[in-house]
Amino acid sequence: MTNSDTLHKQDPTLTAAWNKLTDHFQDMKDVSMAKMFAEDSKRAKDFALELEEVLFLDYSKNLINGKTMALLSDLAEELDLKDGIDKMFAGKLINETEGRAVLHTALRAPRSAHIEVYGENVVPKVQEVLARMKDFVGLFDDKKWKGYTGKDITDFVNIGIGGSDLGPVMVCEALTPFHHPDRKVHFVSNVDGAHIEQTLAALDPETTLFIIASKTFTTIETMTNAHSAREWFLEGASQNDVKKHFVALSTNIDAAVAFGIGEENIFEFWDWVGGRYSLSSAIGLSILVAIGADHFSGLLSGMHWMDNHFRSAPPLENIPVVLALLGIWYSNFHGCETEAILPYDQNLRYLPSYLQQASMESNGKMVTRAGSEVSYETGSIIWGDAGTNSQHSFFQLLHQGTRLIPCDFLLPAIPNHSLDHHHTLLAANAFAQCEALMTGKSADQVKLELAQSGKTDEAMDQLLPFKVFDGNRPSNMILLKRLTPFSLGAIIAMYEHKIFVQGYIWNIFSFDQFGVELGKALAKDLAPELTGSAKSEMHDASTNQLVAKFKSLKSN
């Protein structure tokens, strides 16, 4: 690896911009958003960005002013963010700990693009796999792929975990209105036997096809579920029939063939595709099955459209960069630990879970690119749920809790259903929650309401502290014209690039995930102990005790 391939290894806290932001925070920590709106009639327009009526970001309800954003932009410039973006898109080996490029953007690049990794243009290979995926799905469109008894395949089960599950699940649910009417896609991820058993109970082996999604074909949860699915299938079929009912998304061709999958039904992806960024690769086969080739192309086009915006727009006109800088402002200067993702669209209910992995597995790091311990916070805790359900769940804490929690609201203007009066109420709730988070409710307002309801002075004094909330809590509103494959692709890429920018500025490696490996290794050692008769003595006292108690409860 040459020096030109590496990202900066500069401590962001030592930059001039960071020091200026630290001073600026003292001026901003007690600022009132409501007052800033009252004093600046252009605030809403100045802190909003729109991309071709597809996506509109209003970030005016944040604890910022023009100087805040200018200093955050200076931070990005001082750390040469543009250089980092260019290196990622060019296929430089910026995932240094694993010696890999980071090129999920190449998965949705046009056929005419030229992107080199190890001196080879990867675009033709990407296009070849994409064409094979579309041809594969075309066989079902044309009723040319039959099950082992000659029946049409009606149900598809994606077996994967992590990035091989969360992205496809989220997209398939989000694009439910665009699903092919004759195909049902199911997902199994958890090694808990309830997941695979309950899924199979509703299926017919003669009309079911399994998609085994594992890059190495060794992931223990995925392969345990895959073998259980194959055992279920073989109760009435032969080993030769496996080829008609199982396909693989993997680089381990030998293992997939040994499982019984035909080599022509193994779809490849590459080591420069990270699992949590892989839904636009062969890992998205279940998505393509669900929504068809045209809509899948629309999804990729939306991602590429956002890629181009991210790569070319100046920092303060760049939606992923603005979102990333706001996150840094809250995490590193306001001391916020979490961010809430609040999609006001029932079909987007899995977006928070998807972004949990994308963000927390990427930026949950405690050492810098130079290998030293960080002296500042990295990696926000991402959580959330769909509105309006979430309003009746955790919004109490957002409004009156002791923590400051920045929120992203997402809302389409046009629904994918015919009940427009429902959507009007949904939108009213989304806008009202943003407004309430900002304005709160003052003591004077509460007193007036209580007086109008006929409360006595004594009752008013008792209730007053419980009904006041201070507001001044930040939120972004992300408006879509409509939730379509294209706009969903844009949203996914937007958050991918937000994550990259934050990791880049925090001077951490966002594209490895060594932190999840230790538990997996220990589990492999523990599993035999849970079924054997030998007393467990190789762990800490607590774990040894738990193993013994588990075995005792199970045997009795």
Which residue type does 516 have?
V
Task: Indicate if 361 belongs to the active site.
Answer: yes
Q: Where are the beta strands (DSSP E) in 201-337?
A: 208-213, 246-249, 266-267
Phi, psi of 502 (to 5 degrees): -65, -45
DSSP state of 117: E
Catalytic-labelled residue, pool 520, 535, 537, 549: 520
Task: Indicate if 392 belongs to the active site.
Answer: yes
- Token pair, residue 278, equals 């892989």
Q: What is the dihedral of CA 505, 506, 509, 514, to 10 degrees?
A: -160
| Strand, coil or helix: 54 | coil
Using the Cα atoms of residue 353, residue 63, residue 387 and residue 470 in order, give the sign of their dihedral: positive
Catalytic-labelled residue, pool 114, 392, 421, 524: 392
| Residue carrying structure tokens 């991402």 | 382
| Strand, coil or helix: 186 | strand
Q: What distances in angstroms separate CA 396 from CA 346, 399, 402, 404, one per listed residue?
A: 21, 5, 11, 12
- Residue 311: count other Cβ atoms within 10 Å of its Cβ: 15
- Token pair, residue 150, equals 């000659």
Task: Indicate if 423 belongs to the active site.
Answer: no
Strands 184-188 and 48-51, by their bridges, are unpaired
Residues 357/276, Cβ–Cβ less than 8 Å: yes
The closest of 431, 414, 425 to 476, measured between CA atoms, is 431
Catalytic-labelled residue, pool 173, 221, 361, 529: 361
Residues classed as catalytic: 361, 392, 520
